[in-house]
Structure formats: structure tokens, C-alpha cells
Amino acid sequence: MSFTSEQKSSLKVEHEAVDRTRFDLLRVPLVGSFLRWRWSRVALQIPLLLIGIVMIGHGLFGPDLAPKNLAALLTWVHYRGLVVLVLLLGGNFFCMACPFMLPREIARRAFSPKWDFPPWLRNKWPAVISFVGVLFAYELFDLWGDPWWTGILILGYFAIAIGVDAIFKRASFCKFVCPIGQFNFLASAMSPLEVSVVNQNQCTQCETKDCIRGRVGTSDAESGSTGNSLPIVQRGCELALFQPRKKGNLDCTFCLDCVYACPHNNVGIHSRLPGEELIDDKARSGIGSLNHRSDWAALTIVFVFGSLLNAFAMVSPVYALEQSISRMTGLVVEWPILGMLFLGALVLEPLVLLGGAALATRYWGERQATLMETVNSFSRSLIPLGFGVWLAHYGFHFFTGALTFVPVLQLAARDLVGSPILGAPQWQLGGLPERFVYPMEIGFLVLGLLGSLMVAWCIAERFAPRKVIGAFLPWGIVSVILFTTACWILSQPMDMRGTFLGG
């Protein structure tokens, strides 16, 4: 990738130099040195891979009761809770330490990928399907209560990740397929840290663009293919995020390949205002303009409305609703009833709410834009609220069952070696009482609502500068409706799945 002098000048004008006084995690003693170490990601992946292997083994061969099985307990109580909390307090560090990528790297030494991901699939539609598929399977097969199927799910995840990236070049699984990654991408829009350049002027002067090309070699910047060129000793960004034009955390796995590849030490992990990337409607590297990406809007809808659906599926009113649907339709099989709930929550409800908001925005905002363009522009304003719902939901399970893994680990160790080497299982260990956790849940929802309202207002200022209130009001109403719905859901008795604290 080469740039003319005009393009370089354009880059310099478009981007101001980043303030070097910004907090940079890579400058923190010990932590920064560790992360700058070339093998830091592998060092983080190895323990998670070992834990994953233990979970698979315990899921397949351990106790059938979910609260006594590490696969079910760690997956559905602890892992999910830790993911959202780390995203809230830091960034996408779970993608950085993803255990699925370590076997993939080993497999690529034997099976070098030959093909590019199909052009018609280089979007978020495969991820939308996989995201919905995981949510549907979770409810249909009661995965929270079935350790064996949870173990199979983890094992299948490893197989798909290895298979996709053994066939297709670059990080195709992460960018286009992985539902966990897509969740992390959207949620990390609310994180306080991002991988970004230290000084844009340094990038303007850089001739090699190693952050995306990789260091050593003359391969194409986007493909990473070496052909007959010199071997690449450090690859660049496999997700096609060119650092000088990258904005925010969308599609960023925090792999730090750009950090290792940059010969000028000009990439860091910087502090920023959470959610600011949702306001920007300009084209960004590897993604383009979100205003023209209906696939990103669809993924956002699944993320936001899926958070409500996933929480609703764990409270008692859902059982009454399913029974009502069964009586009206005569259906006695679960999957079509569940399919109707998903259709209503992920298609019909967004169609009514977002379609109505888009129509009202065009009218009150006096902006001549298509409905799809309007939805694309404003739907991402709901991400803060959606993240708040996921935080409240997963946080509830995590905080109320934080110590439940201890007796299960003690039991697993005893079963493995035949003696209580970690002591007798302490089944009395649990977590915080619900009366302490509920105010935290409401706090997460309130923060999410405020974030959505602020993002919607900023988008309205750009979308309809003459009629900001008119453009903002419909989306503010939608946010309040979703917030009220979330408060009602979380006020219901919740099934504390995966622990002995509930049914």
C-alpha cells in the first residue's frame, strides 16, 4: 500500500496528532512491558485454553447436574459475567486472550489457508445468523442446565474456528462469523480503552505501513499474502483495520499485531470517551460508513433486542406466554413456539419501533432520507442501552453466584484423583444477596439509557442540524420504551440458572 504526497497531506489534514498525554496502557510499568512482549497474547491464551479443555472434559464426562459441572457453571455464570465487566472497565481483552485462536495458529502451520473469504459473505450477515443461532440454541436445548451439550458447544466452537481459518485467509472467523466476537465488538464501543495511534503525523510520514502489511516482506496490505516475497516475521492487522484510519473498537480484537508490527512504537492502548465512536458517521478503515451498512444495523438490532429477549426468557412470565401460544396454535413442540417468540422480539418489534421512529424522524427532522438510511444512522444509538441490559442480566448471575465455582472445582478435583486434595466442597459458598445486586442492575440500565440518549442527540445534530429535537425525539422515546421494558423484566423473579441458588 503506497500513498502519494497528496494523500499523505490529506491524512495529515484529516487527522490531528493525538495528544501524547493521553493515558496509554502500554506505558504502565509491568503491564505495558508484558503487553508489548511478542508472546503476551499466547501467554494469556494458554491458561484459558487449558480451562476450556477442562470444561469440555467435565461437561462430557462429569456430573449431569449443571450446578455441579464446571462446563455449565463457568460458561453461563462466570465467563459471561466477567466478559461484560471487563468490557465495561477496560476493553476487548477477552478477544485478545481468546483460547479458540491458539489451536487455529497451530493448525495454520500444517494447513496454510489458500482462499479469500467469499466476497458476498464479507459482511455481518453470517455473524447475525450465528448470533441468533446461539441465542436460539441456548433456549431450545436449555444449555444452562445441560453440561454435556455445553461441552459439545465449546468443542464445536473450537472445530469451527479452526476449520474456517484453516481454509480462509486472515481472521475470517473473527471478522465475519464468531458470535462471541460480534458481541464483544459492539459492547466494546462502550469501553474506556481503544487501540489507536499515538501520533497521526508519524503515520503520515511512515512509508512501510507495517501495521497492516506486516513487518518484512512486500505482500499486499489487505490480503497478507506473501506470494514470492520475503517472509513476514510479524503480520499486520488481519481484520483490515489500517490504524491511521481506524476509529474505535468495532472489529478490533485487541490482538496487538499492529503494536508488534509498527517500527515506530506508534500504536498504544489509549483512553477515550466510551461510545464516542458511535457518533462518528464518517468512513472508517475496514468498515466504511455505518450509515450505509445495513448489516451492522441488523447486528445492532440483534444485540439490543436480543438482550431483552435473553433476559425475558429467564423470568416466569415467559412460561405463561409460551403456554398461551401453545393453546392458541395447538402446538405442543417447543421449537416453533420459541421461533414465534424470536420472530416477534427480533423482527416484528424492531420493525414497529425502529420503523416508526425512522418515519417520525424524517417528518419531524425534515430530512429527506430513506427509512433504511435513517435506521442505519440511529440504530447504533441503542447500543449503550443494550449493553446496559446485558450488564444487568449477566451481572446478576455473576454477582449472586460469584463463589459457586469453588465447591464445584473441589468436587471435580476429588473425582479426578480420588481424594479431596482441594478440601471438602463448600456448597454454602454463593455470592451477594439479591437485595444488593438489584440496585446495581438498575444502575447499569440507567447508565445505558443516558448513554443512548446522549448518542442519539449527537447523531441527530449531524443528521438534521436544523431540527435536532425533532430528529432526536423518536429515538429518545424508543430508548425510554426499551429501558422501561428492561426494568420490568429485571423486576420479575429471575431463574438463577446454573447454580444451587435457584431452580
Residue-wise pLDDT tens digits, 432-457 = 999 999 999 999 999 999 999 999 99
Q: What is the pLDDT of residue 256?
A: 95
Mean local confidence (pLDDT), 25-29: 95
Of the listed ranges 193-202, 210-219, 255-264, the one predicted with least confidence? 210-219
pLDDT at 229: 53
- Residue closest to 384 by CA, chosen among 201, 204, 186: 186
The alpha carbons of the chain give a radius of gyration, in whole angstroms, of 23
Residue 231: the pLDDT is 63
Whether the pLDDT of residue 3 is over 60: the answer is no
Using alpha carbons, select from 15, 5, 386 the residue that is nearest to residue 189.
Answer: 386
Lowest mean pLDDT among 49-53, 220-224, 417-421: 220-224
Give me the residue spans of the domains in the chain.
1-37+197-271, 290-491
CB 489 within 8 A of CB 135: no
Identify the band that residue 292 occupies on the pLDDT scale cut at 50, 70 and 90. Answer: very high
What pLDDT is stored for residue 221 in this prediction? 39
What pTM does this model have?
Answer: 0.90
Buried-state track 127-145, b at ≥16 Cβ within 10 A, e below 16 = bbebbbebbbebbebebbb
Q: pLDDT tens, 476-486? A: 999 999 999 99
Torsion of CA 443, 448, 449, 454, to 10 degrees: 130
Q: Which of 140, 149, 66, 80 is nearest to 397 (CA)?
A: 80
Instruction: Return d(Cα 173, Cα 179) in angstroms, integer.
Output: 9
Q: How far apart are CA 231 and CA 227, in angstroms?
A: 9
59-68, 231-240, 270-279: range with lowest mean pLDDT: 231-240
Q: What is the pLDDT of residue 496?
A: 55
Q: Which pLDDT score, from 0 to 100, does residue 232 have? A: 59
- pLDDT range class, residue 168, cuts 50, 70, 90: very high
Confidence (pLDDT) at 111: 79
For the cut 60, the answer to whether the pLDDT of residue 426 exceeds it is yes
Query: pLDDT, tens digit, for every residue of 52-66?
Result: 999 999 999 999 999
Predicted confidence (pLDDT) per residue in 70-121, tens digit: 999 999 999 999 999 999 999 999 999 999 999 999 888 887 888 999 999 9
Residue 498 has pLDDT above 70, yes or no: no
Check pLDDT > 80 for residue 422: yes
Cell of 362: 424524517
Q: Is 126 or 1 the better-scoring residue by pLDDT?
A: 126
Q: Residues 351-366: what's their mean pLDDT?
A: 93
Cα separation, 49 vs 162, in Å, equals: 14
